[in-house]
Structure 1
Amino acid sequence: MSVTWTGPAEAPVSARIAALAPSLQPSERRVVDAIAADLAAAVECTAQEIADRVGVGRASVIRTAQSLGYDGYPQLRVALAREVALAPATATADDSPIGSLRAAVDRFARALPHLTAALTPADVERFVAALDQAPRVVLVAAGLSAPLGLSMAMRLSAAGRPAEYLPDTLSQLIAARSLEPGSVCLVISGSGANQPSLDAAAAAHEAGARVLVLTSFARAPIVEHADTALVIPAVSDSFSDELVHTSRAALALVIEALVDQVVTRRGSRGREARDAALRLIGGRLRE
């Protein structure tokens, strides 16, 4: 099945690659991995030079550009040049522990502008409205995404929007299957391919509930079950790097911002619930 970028036109190349890479054809994935590894070098290459570098045909490079949402490779090069020109300067390499730590933080900071690149205002509005209005919300998250499920359930509950999170995946499946029409099953899955989460999303959809998804990849299997999916591109430099250094930091940051939007939407109800939660926390603190 052909894969094509359908997100915002202003999304940078690196964000498109991060969101689409897992669902591209093998030859296209080799092309995007080469581009992502060195954006500046890719700007200087023709389609044929990229093809020769990664061992694919020129047509594969052109097809990759089209999968990323561009008319052809020249338009992809222009988008790359713009992204490189706007990128902040990188710090001097330092192999010490503190230097490596700073470098990791710097890489994440450079990725921050891209975290919302695949989002549309309409999708975010539908997502927040569904959370606010649903009579019942069940959180589904497993593996490395499991802590995010607990975090979001706690944050939503503190905002006066009670949400359920059960750490056991079988319990999540049972809860999802018990949802009624109008309720929400919110699935958090960085990979978008976790089988227990896929099963729970399918069960919730079959039950008539609204399925909301937070994931890192636009063509992940979990998106097929979603009524509304928010795609937060991975912060890694390439898909292969994401497999080795899997991070959920980007999703965690967006989750906090989404809960703030729920609080804002709920108006005085949200503010009062948050104030009450803070008073309870204050009462438990000691010098």
Structure 2
Amino acid sequence: MPRRPAAQTAPPTADPFGERLATALPGLSPAGRRIARFLNENRPLSLALSALELAARTGTSDATVVRTVQALGFAGLPELKRDLAAVLAAPPPDPALAMRRTLAEAGEDSDRAVDLAIETQREAVEALTQPEARATLRAAVATLHPARRILVFGLGPSAALARYLSTLLGRAGRATRALDASGIALADQMLDLGAGDALLVLAYGRAYREVVALFAEARRLALPVVLITDSLDRSLARHADVVVPARRGRARRVALHGATLVALEAIALGLAATDGERALASLDRLNDLRAAIAGGRHDVG
């Protein structure tokens, strides 16, 4: 008797929540599609919002939110949030696995890989152009503007972005510093946090110890927090005053930081625009200092 071939188990999807929404999207009403896109593009924020708050964010009604959630195959909003929280809590793939998946998608073809990177970045930046994401960027500027000093936190690859934003803010005349140390060295950088400070935090994936400690200190000192993320533990995201959704590429693939950079530069330019005289005076002073050092004028660049 011939043996049956072994049943093949399909590999788990890279982003089951996103794929579920994408499958249901064509059958939704225009209002339902707005809600589904908001849920997908603002995942940490969505965990903290009620049906009424989701309705306000998407220009719909709480009844439409409930109907949309059910059309997506969930019994109600609590079940959707449990599913979404599980996705956000899932450990990210290690870099080698993420690269392996990305190369598999690119087919180990350099032209395809370049196209894939550009298309992925386009998708992430396009998500920032949506009204909900734009609103979070404006809210970030409004939250940071009154601060006497803006501290920018980032570790790993995000540390370079934190230092870059700190440079932009300094050139615009803002008192600023990057918090980019890991482990107990971060304690030295946090030592002088105090009243009048504001935090801009770049944090993704699991709630690692440095982020937990920084959020706890921000709560103790009642400091405003702007969080840039595409995934973070709900218990932390709910303590941020503003959550800016900046995708780092496609789920379970190599992280790409183009959208994060766009969001940071938008915030920096927004802050410069709120006090143009201070920004221009600071840049003029920068050029004077450069001339003093180099023996001639060097325009800002």
Give the TM-score normalised by the residue count of structure 1: 0.61
After superposition, residues 190-205 of structure 1 pair within 5 angstroms as: 190-191=204-205, 193-205=207-219
The answer on whether the counterparts of 1:188 and 1:213 sit within 8 Å (CA) in structure 2 is yes
**Paired AA for residue 277 in structure 1:** L
- For residues 181 and 274 of structure 1, the distance between their equivalents in structure 2, rounded to whole angstroms, comes to 27
* Whole-angstrom CA distance in 1 between matches of 2:138 and 2:41: 23
Q: 1:178 aligns with which of 161, 171, 192?
A: 192
CA–CA distance in structure 2, aligned partners of residues 221 and 155 of structure 1: 31
- Displacement of 1:140 after TM fit? 1.6
Q: Would you say 1:277 and 2:286 are equivalent positions?
A: yes
Q: How does 1:71-150 map to 2 (within 5 A)?
A: 96-117=109-130, 118-119=132-133, 121=135, 123-150=136-163
How far did residue 21 of structure 1 move? 8.5
Q: Is 1:259 the counterpart of 2:268 in the alignment?
A: yes
Aligned to 2:230: 216
Q: Residues 64 and 14 of structure 1: is their aligned pair in 2 closer, same or farther, counting only changes over 3 Å?
A: farther
Corresponding residue number in structure 2 for 1:83: none
2:40 equivalent in structure 1: 17
**8 Å CA contact retained: 1:216, 1:232:** yes
State the AA in 2 paired with 1:266: D
Cα 1:183–1:9, aligned 2, differ >3 Å: closer, same or farther? farther
Equivalent of residue 239 in structure 2, options 212, 217, 225:
225
Query: Which 5+ residue runs of structure 2 have no aligned equivalent?
Result: 1-16, 18-30, 48-69, 82-105
Aligned 8 A contact 2:128 2:134 in 1: no
Asked which structure has the greater CA Rg, the reply is 2
* Secondary structure in 1 matching 2:226: strand
Q: Show the counterpart of 1:153.
A: 166
The TM-score with structure 2 as length reference comes to 0.59
- Give the CA deviation at 1:219: 5.8
Instruction: Figure out how many residues of one structure are paired with residues of the other and give that number.
Output: 216
* 1:63 aligned residue: 74
Q: CA deviation at 1:255?
A: 0.4
Distance in 2 between residues matched to 1:115 and 1:131, nearest whole Å: 19
Percent of residue pairs bearing the same amino acid type? 19
SS of 2:73's equivalent in the other structure is helix
The amino acid that maps onto 1:225 is H
1:261 Cα deviation after fit: 0.6
User: Aligned partner of 1:16: which letter?
Assistant: L
CA distance in 2, matches of 1:101, 1:115: 22
